[in-house]
Amino acid sequence: MCGIVGATSERRVAGILLEGLKRLEYRGYDSAGVAVIDANNELKSVRRTGKVQELKDAIAQNPLDGTIGIAHTRWATHGGVTEANAHPHRSEDEIAVVHNGIIENHERLREELKAEGYVFNSQTDTEVIAHLIHHERKTKGDLLDAVKSAVRQLEGAYGTVVMDTKHPERLVVARSGSPLVIGVGIGENFVASDQLALLPVTRQFIYLEEGDVADINRTDIAIYDTEGNSVEREVVESDVSYDAGGKGQYRHFMLKEIYEQPIAVRNTLEGRLSETTVLDNAFGENAAEILKDIEHVQIVACGTSYHAGMVARYWLESMANVSCNIEIASEFRYRKSYVHPNSLLVTISQSGETADTLAALRLSKELGYKGSLTICNVGSSSMVRESDLAFLTRAGAEIGVASTKAFTTQLTGLLMLTLGIGKYRGMPEQQQEAVVHALQALPTKLEEAVALADEIEELAQDFANKDHSLFLGRGNQYPIAMEGALKLKEISYIHAEAYAAGELKHGPLALIDEEMPVIVVAPNNDLLEKLKSNVEEVRARGGLMYVFADKNAHFKSDDTMNVLNVCHCDEVIAPIVYTVPLQLLSYYVALIKGTDVDQPRNLAKSVTVE
Ligand code: M6R
């Protein structure tokens, strides 16, 4: 989704801003722009639809010379993908603004500002902010006061950075609903929607809180809370362990991230297990205080993270003896739900900023939950900061829009949560130990799964001319089939559906013909014989099958069935291991299709608007 970068320095900032935008490309966007205030105190900007590279090329032709500037990648919400709708937006050639989020009362404000004589050049809600701040600055005189007064009038979500030719050394920023981080430099300061954008220039960050407004110049940072009080916010040294800006030897970030899964999961496990169970503090200090009383778990998440939650329900109910519901966040937040006594609200999110999941977490605080836990990959995210407990998945920055290592590390965390709750609910010690051993073996099993890449690349050729596909699984592999289908559709644009295999005969069987590949996830578990019957139902109707199976499951390749043998593994970790071949399948199909693997059309990495 949209990305923001800003800088105030003694050196020229256009290069820093463009590099920042490049690093935010992974979030998904459709246009980009930069504005600076130049030596003549004039606003200069360049905007382009398409990739940041096009913006870079345009600026190379007409350099932007300025020591203060703001930049943006836009993911269209209000108004089409046009240069006029790209940010920064300007008012009267004095104020320039970039904005993430959605202003819900923009229509009313637009009418009021038009009545004041302001002329609108775009269809965006953001242009309203530029004119509103200009209007307020005319009466208030000072930029900070103008921004404070303007944001009080905004309804909706914003992370915004404002520049003013009347105050050419200052960036004023405001955050409500969309994250913003200040990068602290030496004799220069920065701001961005994501610390990754600023890693080349600083590792010192201040995370703004909801409602904060900050006034930033080269040497000083002043922050004010919702009440307008001056506040100190901690400066945190970034713990991002490697430079996520590069793809290394890999052709795409997605492939790199698939290959990183064994090490990512090793990091997830590191220091959190004893020989017999999980350590309570894996979920935060004093986690036991909450976990020991939990009688029900409500999981809320979106997309891939939702699929992780679906798997967790199977684990929690079968091993931890605790009831569990799982719901899509955009549904949960808008319905009246029943809260069981002693319920734990669990949010799962790679980014920790997904608008619907964050809203569900905030809502839960009014509903009487015993506590909240987030399973999240970003330690500085809103969800981590606003949850009672947090389990950091430690996957490392995930750049590909299609979630891969974030998912397998979430699953690893959720299996550990099963131990964390199960040990207080009579889960037998022997069973806890067995899960610990299975978890310890997981990185090696993932290495074996990744090693199937060449075989899967070959299988993928069959999908080059297919428009539809069906994924089947049973039990805790049903959500894995759903995840496989989501991966295939989001990066190859092939229509993919997932079904619990037992549902086939209740409708989807009608779709089966030789044009519909059917992908079956078949580990060796107690549902195998049932699954085999479902496979025969497909075969009898002329379907072409791709079975990802344990070698002990005794499937044999023939004219109608391609069998890919996946390494044998403990049943409890099979959902994590079987995810990998499905990720690889979608990756290689997308390669053949020639789609944009890391930034699929219309999608954003972090969905910070509803
Ligand atoms: O950051 P989150 O995990 O909260 O994101 C939720 C979904 O937007 C995300 O999982 C999405 O479905 C993935 N890009 C799919 O690969």
pLDDT over 80 (residue 245): no
The per-residue pLDDT for 363 is 94
Q: Which of 405, 87, 445 is nearest to 244 (CA)?
A: 405
The per-residue pLDDT for 537 is 84
**Residue 403 near ligand 1, beta carbon < 6 Å:** yes
Q: Of the given ranges (242-246, 400-404, 538-542), which has the lowest mean pLDDT?
A: 242-246
DSSP structure class, residue 277? S
Nearest-CA residue for atom 12 of ligand 1: 303
Confidence band, pLDDT 50/70/90 cuts, at residue 560: confident
Stretch 4-14: mean pLDDT: 94
pLDDT over 80 (residue 219): yes
- Centre of ligand 1 to C-alpha 130, Å, is 31
Q: Show the tokens assigned to 597.
A: 């693997």
Q: Are strands 371-376 and 343-349 parallel, antiparallel or unpaired?
A: parallel
Domains of the chain: 3-237 (3.60.20.10), 247-427 (3.40.50.10490), 447-597 (3.40.50.10490)
Q: Of the given ranges (83-92, 213-222, 423-432, 601-610), which has the lowest mean pLDDT?
A: 601-610
Stretch 21-41: mean pLDDT: 90
Stretch 51-63: mean pLDDT: 93
339 burial via Cβ count (<10 Å: 0-12, 13-18, 19+)? middle
The per-residue pLDDT for 242 is 41
Stretch 504-518: mean pLDDT: 88
pLDDT over 70 (residue 508): yes
**Residue 350 near ligand 1, beta carbon < 6 Å:** yes
pLDDT over 60 (residue 244): no
pLDDT tens profile 490-499: 999 999 999 9
pLDDT over 60 (residue 243): no
Task: Please report which helix (H) or strand (E) contains residue 348, including its range.
Answer: strand 343-349
Task: Please report which helix (H) or strand (E) contains residue 69, including its range.
Answer: strand 68-74
pLDDT tens profile 472-488: 999 999 999 999 999 99
Q: ω before 581 within 30° of 0 (cis)? A: no
**Residue 579 near ligand 1, beta carbon < 6 Å:** no
pLDDT over 80 (residue 224): yes
442 burial via Cβ count (<10 Å: 0-12, 13-18, 19+)? buried
pLDDT tens profile 286-315: 899 999 999 999 999 999 999 999 999 999
Pocket test for ligand 1, best of 27, 254, 258, 305 (most atoms within 8 A of CB): 305
- Centre of ligand 1 to C-alpha 304, Å, is 5
Stretch 583-601: mean pLDDT: 93
| CA 128 to chain centroid | 28
* Residue 453, Ramachandran bin (φ over 0: left; ψ between -120 and 50: alpha; else beta): alpha
Report yes or no: 157 and 609 within 8 Å, Cβ to Cβ.
yes
Stretch 267-293: mean pLDDT: 91
Stretch 527-543: mean pLDDT: 82
Q: What are phi and psi of 390, to 5 degrees?
A: -140, 140
pLDDT over 50 (residue 191): yes
pLDDT over 80 (residue 123): yes
Q: Show the tokens assigned to 338.
A: 């029943």
pLDDT tens profile 419-434: 999 999 999 999 999 9
The per-residue pLDDT for 585 is 97
Higher-confidence residue of 606 and 367: namely 367
- Centre of ligand 1 to C-alpha 339, Å, is 26
Q: Show the tokens assigned to 90.
A: 């300007």
Residue with tokens 């920023």: 173
Q: Strand order of the sheet with strand 371-376?
A: 323-328, 296-301, 343-349, 371-376, 389-392
- Centre of ligand 1 to C-alpha 225, Å, is 30
- What is the position in ligand 1's atom list of the atom closest to the CA of 303? 12
**Residue 349 near ligand 1, beta carbon < 6 Å:** yes
pLDDT tens profile 566-575: 999 999 999 9
**CA-CA distances (angstroms) from residue 101 to 31, 107, 151, 334, 571?**
15, 15, 13, 19, 43
The per-residue pLDDT for 481 is 97
pLDDT over 50 (residue 525): yes
Q: Of the given ranges (101-110, 207-216, 366-375, 552-561), which has the lowest mean pLDDT?
A: 552-561
Mean pLDDT computed over every residue of the chain = 92
Geometric angle at alpha carbon 43, from 41 and 47, rounded to 5°: 155
Confidence band, pLDDT 50/70/90 cuts, at residue 528: confident
Stretch 24-50: mean pLDDT: 91
Confidence band, pLDDT 50/70/90 cuts, at residue 235: very high
**CA-CA distances (angstroms) from residue 209 to 28, 180, 181, 192, 578?**
24, 9, 9, 14, 39
**Residue 193 near ligand 1, beta carbon < 6 Å:** no
**Residue 490 near ligand 1, beta carbon < 6 Å:** yes
Indicate which residues carry an active-site annotation: 2, 605
